[in-house]
Every structure is written in C-alpha cells, then in structure tokens.
Amino acid sequence: MKKTPIDELARLATLRTLKILDTGPEAAFDVAVNFIAAACNAPIALVSLVDDHRQWFKAKVGTDLCETAREDAFCAHAIESDGLFEIPDATADARFAANPLVVNAPFIRFYAGLPLRLSCGSAVGTLCVIDTVPRRLGEAELAALRAMAEQLTTILDQRYALQMGAELRSRESALHEKLLREAIERNERRNVALHEGIAQDLTGAKLLIGSLAESSYVTAGGRPRMAILNNLIGTAIADCRQLATEEGGISLRHEGLPGALRQLAARADAVESGARVRARTELADGRRLDPTIEHHIYRIAASVLEAALGMPLVTEVSLLLEASDRTVDFALVTDGDLALDGHDSVLEMAGFRASLLGGSLRLSSDINRHSLLVRVPCRALDDTVTLQTLPSAAAAVG
C-alpha cells in the first residue's frame, strides 16, 4: 500500500474544504498576480494550488496553462518550505534541470515562491513568480511578494472558516439528535446485557454454590456442577470485560489514546477477517491528550475500523495518530474502498464527533489508497494546554 505522510492527508483535506479547485476567476487573486508580476518585473506570476496529482492555477499572468502535473511542479517543493523557495537557475539545479517545464515551454530558469500556509498549519499552494532568465529577487521584490502572500493567506483563511462554519451549521441539529439516540440505545443495550445476561448467570452461580454448601464435601456427582459453575462465572467475567472495553474506557484511562489505538488494532488484527491491522502513533508513551478528544477520536476509530473491515478487498488497514501544540490528526488508511455504502450513519456520526471538537473529517481516494482523516485543534475545548505529560499507569500504582 502506498504510504502518504499524515500531514499531506491533512493538507489535502484543508485544500478540499476550501472548495476552491476548478472555480472561476476572482478579482482578489487576479489583482495579486498582476501586481506581483509588475513588482518583481517577472513575465509569469501564479497563484498555484497543489492537489494530489496536479497543481492548478487559481490566477495567472504570462501563461496559457491552467494546470500541470504535480511531479513537474516547482510549487510542490515550495509548499514544503517555511519561507521563500527560490531557484536562481533551474538548469543548474539537479532537481529541475530535466524538468519538462525547464527543457520545454515556458523554459523556466528562475522561480521564487512563498507557501500560502493557513492558520491550521497546512500550506495549500503558493504565490510565485517565474522568469526565463537566471536571476534572484531583490529586497524590495521579496518584500512585495511577502506582503501579497500574506493578503492571499488571510483571504484563504477566511474562506476556510466560512466553509467549516457552514458545514457545521448544516448538520448540527440532525446529527446532535443522532448522537443522543446513540447514547440512549447504548445505555439500553448495556442495561439488557447486565440484567438479562450477567445477572442471570451470576444468579445461576449463586444457586449452585448454595446447593454445594449443603454438603460437607463435593461428591463425584458434584464435579459436573462445579464445571457448570466455572463456565457461568467465566461467561459473566467475559461479558463484564466486553462491556468495560466496548468504548475503550479502560484502555484510554490507563494507556491514553496511543495505547488504546494499539490495543484496538491488535484486537482487530487477531480476528479472522483476512485484513492486517496496524497502529502507528507519534506520541511518546505517557503523553495524554484532553480526555474528550481522546474519547471522540477513539470512538471514530473504532466505528470506522469496524465498517472498513467489512468492505470488500480490504487487506491492510493503518491507524495513524500525530499531535502537535496546535492540532491532533488521526487517519485511517486502507488499500480497499472506503466508500462505506450502507454506512452513511457511521460517517455522519464520525464527522459530527470531529465537529464537536472544532475539527473536520475528510475522505480521500487514490488508486491504491483510501483514507479518512480527522483533524482537531488541541485547544478545541478551552484555552488550557491540552497536551500534557502524565505518569504511566505502572508509575501511578507503584
């Protein structure tokens, strides 16, 4: 299965949330490229948005191209930088000397681009200038490029916030009702299991113990009854453990979200489903997230994993978790279809759980990779620091 870094999944999710790809011209972007081309004395200027397999030009001056392959895009390199990405002479740079855009029209020699990095941390594209002769930007030209890139980033940030708000408002009422029904149904199932299952088994065990207590010793005829007793108690214990681990509460409490996801993957991997399930987390052992974030991400992971393992042709599933001071990212990646036909409620509930944390959920598909990404801010609930170091369970007990 093709491996894709989780930050790239998050970046693509942010880009698609903007709903800007393949849209018509907009004055703010057109003014930006015309201004920066003149300010930098460059024949070509672009607002380039870098998608999965292509770079698409939201605004352009000096070229008739609307998009190019991502593998040929200078901007695909620029979005990975923290500041200016400048190539004084592409023919002298081993990364670009054989690039089709260098050896053929528009015969790029000079490139300078700044990433358009939103406040969520994802760089969705660049503002760049291109020339057909080798050169470098002067101080005044660089200052103009930076100022215009900041303006465009502000515009994109506002659009991102509006799109996220619109999505949340459109589904909040209906999904809140579904979440409430889910909680009620879960409690009813638990009550039935406790009353009709565990309580009945323990009652049977009590009756057997009472009958055995009437004898001064256990006769040979009593051994089968002891076996029945052991089976009843064993079943009761198994049911108790199942209820305790159903929502990850025990493992979350003692291991945190990284450990709980590893246990979830291990249990799923042990089932004869034909799929290999693995978990990879970037959080060190003992690191804890806000409990509400841990609960909702675990519930998303468990429900979507169950649905994914029922999809045809799924042979590999990866659970990925990363956290920074700003965001928590969870991704479920499979080598099979994640369309989840018949599981709309699973995706709706997962999306609502993400929205409760102020985050988002996105699906993306490639030829050999299908993924679900959840990104939530670390400070989704209040202004306290939510990423903290706690003692391990063993240290707490000892």
Pairing outcome for strands 276-281 and 316-323:
parallel
pLDDT at 25: 95
Asked whether the predicted pLDDT for residue 393 surpasses 50, the reply is no
Cα within 13 Å of Cα(94), Cβ side: 0
The two structure tokens encoding residue 41: 């004395």
Domains plus CATH for the chain? 6-165 (3.30.450.40), 251-398 (3.30.565.10)
pLDDT at 180: 53
pLDDT at 137: 97
Q: Which amino acid is at 137?
A: L
Which runs of consecutive H residues, i.e. helices, occur in the chain?
6-18, 27-39, 75-78, 100-103, 139-192, 199-213, 222-245, 249-270, 291-309, 344-356, 393-397
- Per the model's pLDDT, the better-predicted residue between 134 and 327 turns out to be 134
Lowest mean pLDDT among 75-89, 143-157, 331-345: 331-345
Q: Is the dihedral of CA 216, 221, 224, 225 positive or negative?
A: negative
The two structure tokens encoding residue 1: 């299965």
pLDDT tens-digit readout, 46-60: 999 999 999 999 999
DSSP label at residue 335? S
SS3 171: helix
pLDDT tens-digit readout, 263-274: 888 888 887 667
pTM above 0.75, yes or no: no
Within 10 angstroms of residue 82's Cβ, the number of other Cβ atoms is 8
pLDDT tens-digit readout, 331-359: 998 887 666 545 567 888 888 888 888 88
DSSP 15-83: HHHHT-TT----HHHHHHHHHHHHHTT-SEEEEEEE-SSEEEEEEEES----EEEGGG-SHHHHTTSSS
Rg (CA), the chain: 28
pLDDT level of residue 73 (50, 70, 90 thresholds): very high
